[in-house]
Structure 1
Amino acid sequence: MAPSIIHYLALIPCTWLGWRILKRVTTKDPFARISGPPSSFVGNLLDLFHPDSWDFNIHLAKKYGRVSRITALMNAPSLFVYDPKALHHIIVKDQHVFEEPEDFIRANSKIFGPGLLSTLGDHHRKQRKLLNPVFSIAHMKEMTPTFYEVVHKLRKSVTQQVSQGKEEIDMLEWMTRTALELVGQSGFGYSFDTLDPDGEQHQFGLSLKNLFRSISKPGILLARLFIFPYVVNLGSPRFQRAFVDALPWKALHIVRDMVDVMHNTSLEIFEATKRSLDKVDGGSEKRDGKDIMSILLKANMAASEEDKLPEAELLAQVSTLTFAAMDTTSNALARILDILTHHQDVQDKVRQEVTNAHLERGGDLDYDTLTALPWLDAICRETLRFYPPVPILSRQARKDIILPLSEPIQTIDGKEVSEILVPAGTGVFVSILSCNRDPKIWGPDADEWKPERWLSPLPDSVAEARVPGVYSHLMTFIGGGRACIGFKFSQLEMKVVLSVLLQVFKFEPTGKKVIWQTNGIIQPTTEDAEITPSGEQKLQLPLRVTLVNAKL
């Protein structure tokens, strides 16, 4: 029996591969006249999504411009785009055509459940409608004291480490632990971490942090593309789990264990929130009903029948929102700290600004005061412009469509075109990084990290480009119906953390070479990082940390 199953499974990718090769050979390339990099049988995807692909993304933009032809597996023609008008159609006007790729939705559904990252169209809009109020500025203002309460614990623990003579500190670990605790407290009224200096990272946070690079390993990726579509609905969940358990595949089992941790923790949080709302919760969690999940459950109970979400979708939002709020923001914070070690003059200016603001206030800052600090705001905006945590995203055309361009491009035969026919099924790769660094938008200094650009009026070209991003003329948080719902949450988190830490600590390089890997999300490690049990370099950002005032 076993050999027949194995043969059957092997037949699936072989048949699919043969069909794709036949289709590729007999189908005319719709982008044959558009310039782009050379590719192999596996296309440019390994170059585009390799952990060291940052330079390749920059190279594509500089050499081929705002639109170029790249290829997916078996040289399937695709587009690499950062033209603002094209992005407006992809992200906003025609977003119902340019949807998330099928593999993205399929994988997220299995990992997170039917949450925001796993739904499309009206289903996705229905979920956002219920979630939008808890990410309003009014709610951010209410959560600000909770943010400070958590970050003060961080400051106390790092101070303890420095006072004990520990100069080299892994700030990525602290940013990850803090980000998880912030989303736990303000999102779910739940504590993941005491932020004790001798404590360990919660398994939920570790699973989320390592998830994307684990599911992007070559073997897992090929299985996602060639096998998973045909077996995703095969048998019951119990049968599927038994089959995964039986496969002698360590990489798959690592992903399985991560998903188990995420599901079990999410279920614990969800059930505790329900008990709290029923006023029969005997647990120790601090719950005042102002956390995101409590508000979401109350809103769902009050919603009309057509707007209500089933429990499975509410549960899925726990891991979905935690992942979205924790990983990108913690890495962005780590990037800012790393940059400030190389720009001590800017670090000093921000430190002086936040210190003066806290002295004038006589304590923690309120939301309006915090968000209005010009240098603090400038380093956040400029880092998110220059180093977006997610440099590229994928879309897939669901039907044939014309994609207009803001300016003509020259084809390889010397002609100019102002629009491109994109056939159904085509993959489109939106370069957030390239749009954010486009010199036609940001000027000749677009390739410089220059926070002072935000302290004076931006060039007219920035507004005139009409970049469809939801934040500061940038694509960092995307735009349209799939814009990052928690970008205000992320901004508040970054500013509270930085305003507290920079008052007390000075950050400097350790001399170790920091490597920023593209693992779906940009994450730091070092050349000499230890190898984890899964065979990867440990994610880390060691910085030299000292007290600004030795008497503290």
Structure 2
Amino acid sequence: MTSAPLLAFGAALIAIIWKLFQGYLVKSPLDNIPGPERSSFWLGNHGDIFNRHAWNFHDRARQLFGPVFRFWGPFASRGLFVYDPKALNSIIVKDQLIYEESRWFISWNKYAFGLGLLSTLGEHHRKQRKLLNPVFSINHMRHMAPIFYQTTHRLRTAITAELEASSADVDVLNWMGRLALELIGQGGLGYSFDTLVAHTHNEFGDAIKGYVPAILNVIILRNIIYPYMDEYIPAKVRRFILDILPFRSVRRIQKIIDDMHSHSRRIFNEKKAALEKGDGAVLHQVGEGKDIMSILLKANMEASDEDRLPEDELIGQMTTLVFAATDTTSNAVSRILELLAKHQDVQDKMRAELVAASPDGEDIPYDTLVALPYMDAVCRETLRLHPPVNMMSRETREDVMMPLSEPIQGVNGETISEIFVPKDTSVIVSIRACNRNKAIWGEDADEWKPERWLSPLPEAVGNAHVPGVYSHLMTFLGGGRACIGFKFSQLEMKVVLAVMLRTFKFFPGKNEIYWNMGGVNYPTAGKDSNKACMYLRLERIAS
């Protein structure tokens, strides 16, 4: 090796070492912001925040330190945990191009899902959303409703058969996961993952459902190590390094990612071939050409050269949409059914409203279904109190002043009305804490009360100007990176509840249900179990 490459390598190595360890040597403007002590010299509060049992840390920290506090990241870096509504407006809307997705989030999702909405930034992201927006409109959701009903009827038949064969509790989470996957398959890809009969499995579906549990075992790789690999090491070398790492957890996540990529490409090629044959071929596919990817592919073919997306990005959108639409919605529906099992009076009111909307038992039309007030109140309240995703990470791309709704007191006793946030600061947007903010929602903010949505909300809710895209909540985020599929998710939830509640009564099962904090929250049978499941007792309602 000549002297020039050696010097370049040495300079790069020194830069990495300085970047890693400067936090231990240099003071930060954030040191005056109150926050918890670091629990690890090397990882700071990373293990406290990203931990499936982290509920107590999150709740205790927000109670002790309020709507903005400093936390310790890896290698003595400082970050901010935020749920102050004025600060959120700055992060999500006003200064959203400064508060970009974290480097680990972008780099890892690019590896895991390809160049979809979860792994692009700025103008690139805007261009992708522009092409996708029309297929998530309300008008298109009306076309989706019959597909959702037909698929949910298959689920009803399958669960009825299970109840007739056994008196055991039903793993509702498993069925809801399979249904959500099939709904995004039919409505999103024009592809059937699951016949919704016992013991059916699909390799693509297995990979999607295995991703969240598997990722929890490689958090340090994903959040800390991989961003540096992505920045400094070529893709082929990165893959070689991952292949030789002697960790079962790394091999498991790689197998899942490889499966997702290969199956997405196969489905894409089938879809593209059908479109090239003409409308007749498309009409014989699942979804009859009304699915999101068929419409997206057509729109992409007709788009200008400037707006057209390359094939790799379309495949990335497929994988991203399937992943994003599966665990989030299925776990949200499961949470609603668990709460209804505990609150029989609420379940009875919802069922009465559904029966009144369609006394003959026929499918409730889209416009009637989405307007049912009590069902809507139950869905909104559950999504407020128990958002499927608790937090999102952002990272400042330049120095910025963060405004506050109310001043806070610094460690040195001074009053702080705005915070100077240095470039490269990690910022955690706490969706759950904002949705439970007592200054906005009142002293009963930590309680599940669907009735709060049936009367005027507290004046503070409107005055707070929370930048969420949905019902003054941060559940689906807001701004340019709001959840593009939130209407799809809402329709899915309401169709499933409309069919299931008119067919079955739900009661608590024998097993304890413990909800774990993850990238997407998920239940297990007790705190010590690692297997995602949620058992309830179901009874068939006589026709």
TM-score, length of structure 1 as denominator length:
0.92
Is the aligned partner of 1:545 residue 2:543?
no
CA–CA distance in 2 between the matches of 1:200 and 1:12?
Answer: 55
Structure 1 residues 58 and 223: CA distance shift in structure 2, 3 A = closer
Q: In the alignment, which residue of structure 2 is the partner of 1:24?
A: 23
Unaligned stretches of 5+ in structure 1?
A: 1-10, 531-536
Pairwise CA distance, 1:406: 1.1
Contact in 1 for aligned 2:105/2:223 (Cα 8 Å)? no
CA–CA distance in 2 between the matches of 1:476 and 1:429?
Answer: 14
Q: Superposition RMSD on alpha carbons, in Å? A: 2.2
Q: In the alignment, which residue of structure 2 is the partner of 1:109?
A: 110
Structure 1 residues 224 and 72: CA distance shift in structure 2, 3 A = closer
Q: In the alignment, which residue of structure 1 is the partner of 2:357?
A: 357
Which amino acid in structure 2 is aligned with residue 318 of structure 1?
M
Structure 1 residues 150 and 481: CA distance shift in structure 2, 3 A = same
Which amino acid in structure 2 is aligned with residue 546 of structure 1?
E
Q: Give 3-state SS (helix, strand or coil) of 1:408's partner.
A: strand
* Count of aligned positions: 530
CA–CA distance in 2 between the matches of 1:299 and 1:222?
Answer: 38
Pairwise CA distance, 1:229: 2.2
CA–CA distance in 1 between the matches of 2:424 and 2:482?
Answer: 22
Q: Give 3-state SS (helix, strand or coil) of 1:216's partner.
A: helix
CA–CA distance in 1 between the matches of 2:338 and 2:250?
Answer: 33
Pairwise CA distance, 1:203: 2.9
What aligned pairs does 1:452-531 form with structure 2 within 5 A after superposition?
452-527=451-526
Deviation per CA, 1:468-509: give whole Å up to 9, x if none. Answer: 000000000000000000000000000000110011111111
Pairwise CA distance, 1:158: 0.6
Contact in 1 for aligned 2:385/2:436 (Cα 8 Å)? yes
Pairwise CA distance, 1:265: 1.6
Q: Give 3-state SS (helix, strand or coil) of 2:401's partner.
A: strand
Structure 1 residues 228 and 29: CA distance shift in structure 2, 3 A = closer
Unaligned stretches of 5+ in structure 2?
A: 1-9
Which amino acid in structure 1 is aligned with residue 156 of structure 2?
R
CA–CA distance in 2 between the matches of 1:53 and 1:209?
Answer: 22
Contact in 2 for aligned 1:16/1:226 (Cα 8 Å)? no
CA–CA distance in 1 between the matches of 2:30 and 2:199?
Answer: 54
Pairwise CA distance, 1:202: 2.5
Is the aligned partner of 1:286 residue 2:286?
yes
More moved, 480-489 vs 205-214? 205-214
Structure 1 residues 232 and 21: CA distance shift in structure 2, 3 A = closer
CA–CA distance in 2 between the matches of 1:145 and 1:283?
Answer: 16
Q: Give 3-state SS (helix, strand or coil) of 1:32's partner.
A: helix
Structure 1 residues 227 and 529: CA distance shift in structure 2, 3 A = closer
Contact in 1 for aligned 2:24/2:75 (Cα 8 Å)? no
CA–CA distance in 2 between the matches of 1:165 and 1:25?
Answer: 60
CA–CA distance in 2 between the matches of 1:12 and 1:515?
Answer: 49
More moved, 260-269 vs 300-309? 260-269
Structure 1 residues 99 and 232: CA distance shift in structure 2, 3 A = closer
CA–CA distance in 2 between the matches of 1:133 and 1:461?
Answer: 34
More moved, 387-396 vs 55-64? 55-64
Q: In the alignment, which residue of structure 1 is the partner of 2:5?
A: none
More moved, 351-360 vs 434-443? 351-360
Structure 1 residues 66 and 53: CA distance shift in structure 2, 3 A = same
Contact in 2 for aligned 1:81/1:429 (Cα 8 Å)? yes
Percent identity among equivalent residues? 50
CA–CA distance in 2 between the matches of 1:367 and 1:287?
Answer: 18
Q: In the alignment, which residue of structure 2 is the partner of 1:73?
A: 74
Deviation per CA, 1:162-204: give whole Å up to 9, x if none. Answer: 12233301000000000000011111111000101x2334332
Is the aligned partner of 1:270 residue 2:271?
no
Pairwise CA distance, 1:287: 4.6
Pairwise CA distance, 1:252: 1.1
Pairwise CA distance, 1:447: 1.2
CA–CA distance in 2 between the matches of 1:397 and 1:166?
Answer: 54
CA–CA distance in 1 between the matches of 2:219 and 2:36?
Answer: 26
Is the aligned partner of 1:341 residue 2:341?
yes
Which amino acid in structure 1 is aligned with residue 101 of structure 2?
E
Q: In the alignment, which residue of structure 2 is the partner of 1:199?
A: 199
Structure 1 residues 359 and 12: CA distance shift in structure 2, 3 A = farther
Q: In the alignment, which residue of structure 2 is the partner of 1:533?
A: none
Q: In the alignment, which residue of structure 1 is the partner of 2:395?
A: 396
Pairwise CA distance, 1:28: 1.4
Q: In the alignment, which residue of structure 1 is the partner of 2:251?
A: 253
Q: Give 3-state SS (helix, strand or coil) of 2:521's partner.
A: strand
Structure 1 residues 487 and 528: CA distance shift in structure 2, 3 A = closer
CA–CA distance in 2 between the matches of 1:299 and 1:123?
Answer: 17
TM-score, length of structure 2 as denominator length:
0.93
